[in-house]
Amino acid sequence: MKILAWSIVLGLVHVLVAASLSTAQRGLLWNIGPRDGVPAPLTGLAGRLDRASRNFLETFVFFAAAVLMLAFLQKGNEHTMLGAQIWFWARVAYLPAYAIGIPFLRTAVWAVALVGLVMVVSALF
């Protein structure tokens, strides 16, 4: 459950970093306004970190559900804890890996996180 709590903090970091760079690129008036219409696409670092944030949110749902199910069913063990730790630390590495933009690095880090998630989910079956 501690990994889940820290994952929530990590998700907030993703959102805050992406929102800050989005505001820097689109302007404060856009951010505080009604955001009507289609905004200009984010580019460069702001675009990469926005995509990283969205990717975190997409995978966090599955991770959180699996961890909560393991806790409810009392099926957690050393294997699932290792999987949760792998997922978490890979997701920590994902944000800077995406920001740097080195080809294949982001995908490799994402794949490591996926392995961790599969380790967690596998105990449910």
H helix intervals, the chain: 2-26, 28-32, 44-73, 78-100, 105-122
84, 69 contact by CB (below 8 A): no
**CA gap 4, 49 in Å, rounded:** 22
pLDDT tens for residues 29-70? 888 888 888 888 999 999 999 999 999 999 999 999 999 999
The two three-digit tokens of residue 17, written as one number = 């970093």
**Would the pLDDT of 14 be above 90?**
yes
Its CATH class, for the domain covering 2-122, is mainly alpha
The two three-digit tokens of residue 38, written as one number = 């289609």
